[in-house]
Amino acid sequence: MNSIDKLTEIFSRFPGIGPRQAKRFVYYLLQRHNGTTDDLIRALDDLKLETSQCSRCYRFFPKNHAGSNICSICTDKTRDESLLMIVPRDTDLDAVEKSRSFKGLYFVLGGVLPVLEREPEKRIRINELRERVKRDEGVLKEIILAMNANTEGENTSDFLKGELKVFQEASFSEFTISILGRGLSTGAELEYADPDTLKNALLHRTK
Amino acid sequence: MNSIDKLTEIFSRFPGIGPRQAKRFVYYLLQRHNGTTDDLIRALDDLKLETSQCSRCYRFFPKNHAGSNICSICTDKTRDESLLMIVPRDTDLDAVEKSRSFKGLYFVLGGVLPVLEREPEKRIRINELRERVKRDEGVLKEIILAMNANTEGENTSDFLKGELKVFQEASFSEFTISILGRGLSTGAELEYADPDTLKNALLHRTK
Amino acid sequence: MNSIDKLTEIFSRFPGIGPRQAKRFVYYLLQRHNGTTDDLIRALDDLKLETSQCSRCYRFFPKNHAGSNICSICTDKTRDESLLMIVPRDTDLDAVEKSRSFKGLYFVLGGVLPVLEREPEKRIRINELRERVKRDEGVLKEIILAMNANTEGENTSDFLKGELKVFQEASFSEFTISILGRGLSTGAELEYADPDTLKNALLHRTK
Amino acid sequence: MNSIDKLTEIFSRFPGIGPRQAKRFVYYLLQRHNGTTDDLIRALDDLKLETSQCSRCYRFFPKNHAGSNICSICTDKTRDESLLMIVPRDTDLDAVEKSRSFKGLYFVLGGVLPVLEREPEKRIRINELRERVKRDEGVLKEIILAMNANTEGENTSDFLKGELKVFQEASFSEFTISILGRGLSTGAELEYADPDTLKNALLHRTK
C-alpha cells in the first residue's frame, strides 16, 4: 500500500470519518506542502510525551511539572470529595466541566454497556470503579450516575446500581446513588416530547 | 385560476406545505377518482358541524349530545381544578394528555409571543386568560406555564408571569406560578447538552 | 370516530404526511374558524366538477367550455405529433412543460414498475399505451421514455422497450425509441458523481 | 496551550471538522494508548518522504523507484495525449479515474474561481496551465473542462475558455474546448429536476 492509501486508511478509522473524507484529509495535508504535516507530527509527539491518564479518575490530562500521575481536578482541594460523578467518557467530563455546575470529583468509565453485554469488565472500568469506591469509603456521600438519556445509558446505570448496592449493603459506608434529572432539554418542544420527558418535566416543575 | 391551481394554492398555505407538495395532494385526489375527495368533503362538513371551541379552556373538541360549549376535560369532576396548565396550542394539550401525567385543567393560549412583540393580545388569548383566572379565584392553587424550551417559549413565560403577578398581588387569591422542569430529554447526550440543561439535570437529580 | 380524528385519518393518507402533521392540518383549519374550511370544500367541489382526465394522454386537466374530453396539449395543432414522450405521472409532465424544452405530445403512464412486479397492467396504463401507439401508427417517429434515473425508472424503461419492440417489428410503422440523456444534473459535483454519470457526462460532452 | 488543545486545534482545521469532532479525534488517539498515534506519525513521515507533486499535471502521487517527478499517468504511453482534461482537484481526478471512462491526460487546476474573483492566479494554476498548453502545441486536439455543475464550476469554465481562446487564435495549434455533458445524474427524478437539466436530458437523449 502506498503512503497516500496507508494514511487514508488510518484516518478512515477515526470516529465518524469514512474513506472519502479520509482521502480529503490526506490531500488537505499534501496541498499545504508539509507545513501542516510537520505541525501535526510535532503535536502528536507532544501528545505522547505530555499527556497522562489519571490513576484516580482515569481521564487524560496534560502532565504538570511535578510529573504527578494524578490530574488537576483530583488534586484540587477546593472540590467536594464527598460527591463522585461517574461519566462514560472524557468528552462527557469536559461537557460537565464547561457547564461549571459541578464541584465534586469524577470517574471516567471508559464506555457504556450495550444491552445484554456478557463481559461488562471488557467494556467499562468496573474493577477500577470498585477500587475507587473502596478507597473513598467513609468520605463518599453520593455517587451520581451521569449517563446519556438513551437505552445504553440506562442499561449502564442499572448495571452500576447493582454493583454499587453490594457496597452499600456490605460496608459501613453510607452513600446514596442518584441519576441525572430528566425534563425538557434546551430547545425541546412539548408537541414532540415523549410521555416520559413530559412526566418528568411536570414532576420537576420549578416555582 | 382553474380549480387545480386554486386547490393547490389552498393546500400550500397548510403548515409545512410548499407549492410542490400541495400539487401532489391535488393529483393524489384526482388519481383516486373522487372517492377520497368525497370522503374529504364529508369530513370537512362534519368538522364544521360537530366541533366546538370550549368556552373555558379554548381547545377544540367534538360536540357531545347535550350540545354543551364546555369540553369533556373542563367538565370532568375527577380532575383537580386547583391546578391550571397554560399551553400554547391544542397539539401541546394533546401531547400532555397522551402522557397521562397531568390531572388538572388547561388553558390554550392560542400561540406564543415572539421577542419584542408589541401587541401581545393579538397573538395570544391574554384577555381570556385574565377572565379565567378571575373566575377561578379562591380555587386556583397553582398555574403551570407549559411552554416550549426555546426563546419564544421563555419570552411567553416571562410575559405571563408579569401579567399573573398583578393578580397575585391585587387579589386575595393565593396561587403559585411554576414552569416545566428542565433536564435531559429522552435521547439527550451529555456531550451535546448545553450548560443550562446539564446544570438543571444535576440540580434535579433523583435518588 | 369523531370528526377531528376522521379528518386527521384522511389527511394522514396524503403523500408524505404522517399522523402528527395530519392533526396539525385539522387544527390549522379549526383555528381559522371555518373560513379556510369553506374555501377548501368549495375548491374540492370545483375540482370534481371542472377537471377531466384526457382520453388521449390521461393527464388531468381543467375542463374547457366545449366540454371536450381531450386536453389542451393534445389538441394543440402547433405541437409535433411525431414525438411522444411517456412520463410516469402528471407531476413529471408538469416539470417537462415548465422547462419549455419539449414540443411533442405526452402519455401519462400512471406510475412506475417495481422490479419483479408480476402484474404490470395493474400498476401502469400499458393497455392504454398499446392503443395509443396503434392509433398513432404512421405518424409516430420517436417515443421518448422519460423515466426517473433510478432502479424503478430503469425497470419501467426496460419493460416498455420490450412492449414497444413488438410494435416496431409487427407493423409497418417505423418509430425509434429513446431514453433521456444522462450526465451531470445541475449542482452535481465530480467528486461525488457515480462512474455511470461521469461516463455519460464525458460521452455527451459539448463543444 | 497544552498538547491536547494544540492537537485539537490542528484537527479542527481539517476540511469539514469542527472543534467538537477534533476533540473526539484526540481522545480516540489517547484511548488507543499510543499504538494508533505511532502508526499515524509513521504514515505522516512516509507521506512526506514518498509523495511527489507531478511537474506536468500537478497531482500528488507516490514516488516510484526512479525518483521521477512525473506521475504514472503522465508517463503512461498507452494514454491519448491529444486529450487533456482539466479538473479542479486531486479528488476529482480520482473520481474520473475510478470511472474508467477517460483515457487521456489531466491537469489539476488546484481549485475553482468564485464569481468576481479578482486574482485568479492566486486561486488556480493558470500560469502553469498556459505553459502546459504551449508545451503540448501540435499534439493537443481537445481540452475538456471538467468542472462541477454549479456556479463556481461554470464561472471557472468561462474564465478558462477566455484564457484558452487566446491560444486557439494566436497559435497554429488547433484544439477544441469542450465541457462535460449535462443530463440526469444517477438517482435524479424528473419532478425535481431543474429546467436546464431537463432540457439537456432531452437534447442528449439516446436511442
Please give the share of chain C, as a percent, with pLDDT higher than 70: 99
pLDDT of D98 reads: 93
pLDDT of C72 reads: 93
Average pLDDT over chain C, rounded to an integer: 92
Average pLDDT over chain D, rounded to an integer: 92
Taking the Cβ of residue C35 and every Cβ of chain B, the question of whether any pair is shorter than 8 Å is answered with: no
Q: What is the pLDDT of residues D137-167, one digit of tens each?
A: 889 999 999 999 999 999 999 999 999 988 8
Please give the share of chain A, as a percent, with pLDDT higher than 70: 99
Identify the residue among B99, B157, B161 best suited for mutation to test binding to A, counting A beta carbons within 10 A and taking the highest.
Answer: B99
In the block, residue with C-alpha cell 469488565: A121
Q: Which fold has domain D3-48?
A: Helicase, Ruva Protein; domain 3 (1.10.8)
Residues of D in contact with C98 (CB under 8 A): 195
Residue in A147, A181, A187 closest to B149 by CB: A187
Residues of A in contact with D27 (CB under 8 A): 60, 89-91
Taking the Cβ of residue D6 and every Cβ of chain A, the question of whether any pair is shorter than 8 Å is answered with: yes
Taking the Cβ of residue A37 and every Cβ of chain D, the question of whether any pair is shorter than 8 Å is answered with: yes
pLDDT band at D171 (very low <50, low <70, confident <90, very high): low
Residues of C in contact with B109 (CB under 8 A): none
CA distance B6 to D105: 56
Residues 156-185 of C with CB under 8 A from D: 176-185
pLDDT band at A14 (very low <50, low <70, confident <90, very high): very high
Identify the CA nearest to D149 among candidates C22, A95, C188, C152: C188
CATH 3.40.1360.10 placement within chain D: 77-179
Residue D78 has pLDDT above 70, yes or no: yes
Residues of A in contact with B201 (CB under 8 A): 180-183
Q: What is the pLDDT of residues B62-115, one digit of tens each?
A: 987 777 899 999 999 999 999 999 999 999 999 999 999 999 999 999 999 999
- Residues paired with B179 in a beta bridge: A206, B145
Residue in A23, A30, A48 closest to D37 by CB: A48
Residue in C28, C31, C37 closest to B48 by CB: C37
Count of C-beta atoms within a 10 Å radius of residue D173? 15
Identify the residue among C7, C20, C49, C122 best suited for mutation to test binding to B, counting B beta carbons within 10 A and taking the highest.
Answer: C7
Task: Report CB contact under 8 Å: B177, A207.
Answer: yes
Taking the Cβ of residue B200 and every Cβ of chain A, the question of whether any pair is shorter than 8 Å is answered with: yes
pLDDT of D207 reads: 83
Taking the Cβ of residue B75 and every Cβ of chain C, the question of whether any pair is shorter than 8 Å is answered with: no
Q: Which fold has domain C83-179?
A: Dna Topoisomerase Vi A Subunit; Chain: A, domain 2 (3.40.1360)
CA distance A93 to A58: 11
pLDDT band at A176 (very low <50, low <70, confident <90, very high): very high
How are strands ordered across the β-sheet holding D83-87?
D105-108, D83-87, D142-145, D176-179
Task: Report CB contact under 8 Å: A23, D48.
Answer: no
Question: How near does any CA of chain C get to the CA of D110, in Å?
Answer: 14
pLDDT higher for C144 or A196?
Answer: C144
State the chains in contact with D (3 or more Cβ–Cβ pairs under 8 Å): A, C
SS3 content of chain D, % helix, strand, coil (to 5): 45, 15, 45
Count of C-beta atoms within a 10 Å radius of residue D96? 25
Instruction: Give the count of alpha carbons within 13 A of B76, CB side only.
Output: 12
Taking the Cβ of residue D34 and every Cβ of chain C, the question of whether any pair is shorter than 8 Å is answered with: no
CATH 3.40.1360.10 placement within chain A: 80-179
Residues of A in contact with B99 (CB under 8 A): 194-196, 198-199
In the block, residue with C-alpha cell 484511548: D31
Taking the Cβ of residue B101 and every Cβ of chain A, the question of whether any pair is shorter than 8 Å is answered with: yes
Question: How near does any CA of chain A get to the CA of D132, in Å?
Answer: 20
Taking the Cβ of residue A199 and every Cβ of chain B, the question of whether any pair is shorter than 8 Å is answered with: yes
Residue C137 has pLDDT above 90, yes or no: no
pLDDT of A55 reads: 95
Residue in A14, A37, A38 closest to D25 by CB: A14
CATH 1.10.8 placement within chain D: 3-48
CA distance A170 to A133: 12
Q: Is B63 helix (H, G, I), strand (E, B) or coil?
A: coil
Residue A171 has pLDDT above 70, yes or no: no
Whole-number CA gyration radius for chain A = 21
pLDDT band at D173 (very low <50, low <70, confident <90, very high): low
Task: Report CB contact under 8 Å: C91, B23.
Answer: yes
CATH 1.10.8 placement within chain B: 3-52
Question: How near does any CA of chain A get to the CA of D98, in Å?
Answer: 13
Give the Cα-Cα-Cα angle C134, C140, C141 (nearest 5 degrees). 140
Residue A173 has pLDDT above 70, yes or no: no
Please, what's the b/e burial string for A99-119 (b: 16 or more CB within 10 A of its CB; e: otherwise)? beebebbbbbbbbbbeeebee
Residue A203 has pLDDT above 80, yes or no: yes
Identify the CA nearest to D123 among candidates D83, D89, D173: D89
**Low-confidence residues of chain B, pLDDT below 50?**
none
pLDDT higher for D10 or A171?
Answer: D10
Q: Is C201 helix (H, G, I), strand (E, B) or coil?
A: helix
Taking the Cβ of residue B37 and every Cβ of chain C, the question of whether any pair is shorter than 8 Å is answered with: yes
Per-residue CA distances from C103 to C82, C147, D157 (Å): 10, 18, 31
Task: Report CB contact under 8 Å: C44, B28.
Answer: no
Residue in B91, B101, B189 closest to A148 by CB: B189
pLDDT of D39 reads: 94
Taking the Cβ of residue B21 and every Cβ of chain C, the question of whether any pair is shorter than 8 Å is answered with: yes
Contact A121, A110 (CB under 8 A): no
Q: What is the mean pLDDT of residues C34-57?
A: 93
Indicate the Cα dihedral angle B66, B72, B74, B75, nearest 10°: 50
State the CATH class of domain A3-52.
mainly alpha
Residues 108-137 of A with CB under 8 A from B: none
Task: Report CB contact under 8 Å: A62, D23.
Answer: no
Phi, psi angle pair for B131, to nearest 5°: -60, -40
ipTM above 0.85, yes or no: yes
CA distance D123 to D114: 9
pLDDT of D103 reads: 96
The amino acid at residue C136 is: D
Residues of A in contact with D60 (CB under 8 A): 4, 27, 30
pLDDT of C181 reads: 92
Q: What is the pLDDT of residues D29-75, one digit of tens each?
A: 998 877 899 999 999 999 999 999 999 999 999 987 777 899 999 99
The CATH number of D77-179 is 3.40.1360.10
Lowest mean pLDDT among A33-37, C168-172, C179-183: C168-172
Taking the Cβ of residue B102 and every Cβ of chain A, the question of whether any pair is shorter than 8 Å is answered with: yes
Count of C-beta atoms within a 10 Å radius of residue C126? 16
Identify the residue among B168, B185, B194, B200 best suited for mutation to test binding to A, counting A beta carbons within 10 A and taking the highest.
Answer: B185
Residue D60's Cα: distance from chain center in Å?
Answer: 10
Residue in B185, B201, B202 closest to A193 by CB: B185
CA distance B125 to B107: 9
The CATH number of A80-179 is 3.40.1360.10
Question: How near does any CA of chain C get to the CA of B204, in Å?
Answer: 31
Residue D133's Cα: distance from chain center in Å?
Answer: 17
Task: Report CB contact under 8 Å: B24, C91.
Answer: yes
Question: How near does any CA of chain C get to the CA of B54, in Å?
Answer: 12
pLDDT of A172 reads: 63
